[in-house]
Structures are given as structure tokens and as C-alpha cells.
Structure 1
Amino acid sequence: MIVLQTIAVAFAMFSAIPVPQFEWNEKNMRYAMCAFPLIGLVIGAVWYVCGALPLPDLVRAAGFALVPVWVTGGIHLDGYADTCDALSSYGDREKKLEILKDPHCGAFAVIRLCSYFLAYFGLCTCVQFTPRVGALWTLALVLERTLSGYAVAAFPMAKNTGLAHTFATAADKTTVRRVLTVLAVVLAACMMFLRGWALVLAALAVLFYYNKMSAKQFGGITGDLAGWFLQKAELWMLAALAACQWGGLL
């Protein structure tokens, strides 16, 4: 029962998939970040079906771009938009954190979101679906969430409130870090076996930058910054996937 509740907490928080209503508590939130990568598995499964269907190329590319939004409800894009607004303010740390709390969407957020979807859709039109590519991208979607969950348990928090702080405080950080580290290694190995080494390098590069940038600009990570990382990692892994296909590596 506690395992199912833990999975339900992760899906209730980080996806738009309906789950049964129940009370969240310390027990079922303790390992919720370990269940977070399962959402990537669901997105990958729907993405795979979209790729396998006999759809026109542009319709298939639009499906590739929209599937993550449909499954997650756009929660990570919200964090991406808020973080773009904060970074574009060029204010001090306190000013940036203040902007992250503002529920309004600023001009820079709109500009960056439009640019993001244009780039994402453009890359999706370059991806030619094959069973290998579908499996590789599914693993990539799971990997980015594994790294995001690891960061919540391992990186310093920018403040003592907010979604990321809530999950970090409730988590058994040591166990979460160990489980997600092992999972990340296994996923990376599988992706390399499928010749997706470039996607692994892209995800790790974004994770490294995320750690440095969040510490310098915000004093640590927040839920919004976690969303920014996930969207950045996904875009760069998609670019790596398209580049590998273009270069004949996949």
C-alpha cells in the first residue's frame, strides 16, 4: 500500500494523470522522488505510440512536442518560464527569488517559451522514428527525471519554503540519492548500448550547469529551477538525438 501511495504522490504532483485521493504524509512522501522517473516512462510510452502510428510527418512532430505537456500538465514549463523571467531581470539574488514567487507571466517568459517550442518542434521534425529511437528517447525521459530527483536530494535549497523544499525535507535523502544514482548509471549504460552516448553527455552537462548556475544566481535550487533544468535537459537531449540521426549514428 505504501509503495502505491508513494507512486501516486509522484504522479499527483508531477503529472496530469488522475490518481485516487488520499492524505499525503511523511511516509508516502519519503521516497516520492524515487517514483518521479516513472512519469518519464509513461511519456515515453505515449511518445512511442505516436511515432509508430501512420501519421503525416508534421502531425507526428507536433505530437512528439505536445505529449510531454499533455502528460505533465505543463508543471515543468511553468518553472521554466518563471526561471527565465528571474534570470532576465539581472537583479540581485533576493530580486530573482521574488520573481520566482510571482504568479504572473512576464514578457521574457513568453519570449523564451515561444522560442523553446519553436526549437523543440523544429527538432522533432528532424527525428525519424524507429524502434531504437523510441526506446532511446524513453530512457532519456526517465533519465532527466532521475537526475532532477537526485538534485532535489543532493543540491542545496535556495529557501526553506516551496515545493522542492517540501519534498527535500520529507525525503530520506541518503536513500533517495543512492537509489537515483544507481538508476541513473543503469539508464546511462542502456542508452550508451543503444548508441545514445551524446544524449547522456547532454543531460550531464545541463545538470552540471544547473548546479553552478542555481548556486550562483539563487543560492540553491527551487521547484521552479527544477522545472527549468528538466526542460533544458530535454531540449538538449532532443538536439543530441536529432544530431546523432543526422550524422548517421542512429
Structure 2
Amino acid sequence: MIVLQTIAVAFAMFSAVPVPQFAWNEKNMRYALCAFPLVGLLCGVLWCVCGVLPLPAPARAAGFCLVPVWVTGGIHLDGYADTCDALASYGDREKKLEILKDPHCGAFAVIRLCSYFAAYLCLAACVQFTPRVGALWTLALVLERALSGLAVAAFPMAKNTGLAHTFACAADRKVVRNVLTVLAVLLCGVLLALGGGALAAAAILLFLWYHHVAVQQLGGITGDLAGWFLQKTELWMLAALCACQWGGLL
């Protein structure tokens, strides 16, 4: 029962998938970050379904682009938009954290979101779906969430409030770090074995950049910055997937 509740907490927080309603508590939140990658697995499965359906090419590309948004409800895109506004302000740490708390959408958020979806749709249109490509992308979507959960358990927090802080405090951080580290290493190994080493490399490099930005500009991570990392990683991994196909590696 506690395992199912833990998975339900992860889906309730990080997706738009309906789950049974129950009280969150110390037990069912302790390992919720370990279940977070399952949201990526669901995104990957639906992405593959979109790939095998007899859809016109533009509709398939749109499906590839929108499946993650439909599954997550846009929670990570919200963080991406807020973080783009904050980072583009070039203010000091306090100013950036203040912008992150502002519920309004600034000009830079709109510009970056439009640019993001234009790039994502273009890359999605370039993907030639095969079972191998579907497997690689599913693993990549799981990997980015494993790294995102690992960051919450391992990186310093920018503030003592907010979503990231709540999950970090509720988690058994040592166990979560160990589980997600092992999962991330295994996923990178499988990606490499399947010819998708470029996707793993993109995820790792962005994970390191995520830590740098968090520490240098905000003093730690926030829930919004976590969403920013997830969306940037997804876009660059998709670019790496296309590059592998263009280069004849897949």
C-alpha cells in the first residue's frame, strides 16, 4: 500500500494524471522522488504510441511535442518560464528569487517559451520513428527525471520554502541519492549500448550546468529551476537524438 501511495504522490505532484486522493505524510513522501522517473516512463510510452499510429507527419510531430505537456500538465514549463524571466533580469540573487515568486509571465518568459516550442516542433518533425528510437527516447525521459530528483536530494536549496524544499525535507535524502544515482548510471549505460550516448552526454552536461547556475546565481535550487533544467535537458536530448539519426548512428 505504501508503495502505491508513494507512486501516487509522485504522479499527483509531477503530472496531470488523475490519482486517488489521500493525505500526504512523512511515509508516502519519503521516497516519492524515486518514483518521479515513472512519469517519464509514461511520457515515453505515449510518445511511442504516437510514433506507431498512422498519423500524417505534421500531426505526429505535434504529438511528439505535446505528449510530455499533456502528461505533466505543464508544471515544468511553468518553472522554465519563471526561471527564464529571472535569469534574463541579470539582477542580484535576491532580485532573481523575487522574480521567481512573481506569478506573472514576463516578456522573456513568453519569448523563450515561443522559441522553445518552435525548436521542439522542428526537431520532432525531423525524428524518424523506429522501435529503437522510441526506446532511446523513453529511456531519456526517465533519465532526465532521475537526474532532476537526484538534484533535489543532493543540491543545496536556495530557500527554505517551496516545492523543491518540501520534497527535499520529506525525502530520505541518502536513500534517494543512492537509488537515483544507480538508476541514472544504468540508464546512461543502456543509452550508450543502444547508440544513444549523445543523449546521455547531453543530460550529464546539462546536469553539471544546472548545478553551476543554481549555486552561482541563486545560491541553490528551487522548484522553478528544477523545471527549467528538465525542459532544457529534454530539448537538447531531442536535438542529440536527431543528430544521431542524421549522422547515421541510429
Shorter-chain TM-score bucket reads: over 0.9
1:247 aligns with 2:247: yes
Alignment-derived partner of residue 11 in structure 1: 11
Alignment-derived partner of residue 104 in structure 2: 104
Alignment-derived partner of residue 205 in structure 2: 205
Q: Deviations over 1:3-56 (max 9, x none)?
A: 000000000000000000000001100000000000000000000000001111
Q: Percent same amino acid among aligned pairs?
A: 79
Aligned-pair CA distance for 1:189: 1.0
Alignment-derived partner of residue 173 in structure 1: 173
Q: How does 1:21-170 map to 2 (within 5 A)?
A: 21-170=21-170
Alignment-derived partner of residue 224 in structure 1: 224
In structure 1, C-alpha distance between the alignment counterparts of 2:103 and 2:66, rounded to whole Å: 23
Q: Deviations over 1:80-128 (max 9, x none)?
A: 0000000011111000000000011001000000000000000001100
Aligned-pair CA distance for 1:165: 0.1
In structure 1, C-alpha distance between the alignment counterparts of 2:211 and 2:150, rounded to whole Å: 11
In structure 2, C-alpha distance between the alignment counterparts of 1:243 and 1:183, rounded to whole Å: 25
Q: Structure 2 stretches of 5 or more lacking a match?
A: none
In structure 2, C-alpha distance between the alignment counterparts of 1:58 and 1:192, rounded to whole Å: 30
In structure 2, C-alpha distance between the alignment counterparts of 1:33 and 1:73, rounded to whole Å: 18
**What secondary structure, in the 3-state scheme, does the structure 1 residue paired with 2:188 have?**
helix
In structure 2, C-alpha distance between the alignment counterparts of 1:186 and 1:244, rounded to whole Å: 20
Aligned-pair CA distance for 1:185: 1.0
Aligned-pair CA distance for 1:247: 0.6
Compute the RMSD of aligned alpha carbons: 0.4
The one-letter code of the counterpart of 2:73 is: G
In structure 2, C-alpha distance between the alignment counterparts of 1:192 and 1:88, rounded to whole Å: 35
The one-letter code of the counterpart of 1:113 is: L
Q: TM-score, normalised by structure 1?
A: 1.00
In structure 2, C-alpha distance between the alignment counterparts of 1:145 and 1:152, rounded to whole Å: 11
**What secondary structure, in the 3-state scheme, does the structure 1 residue paired with 2:119 have?**
helix
Alignment-derived partner of residue 189 in structure 1: 189
Q: Deviations over 1:185-204 (max 9, x none)?
A: 11111111110000000000
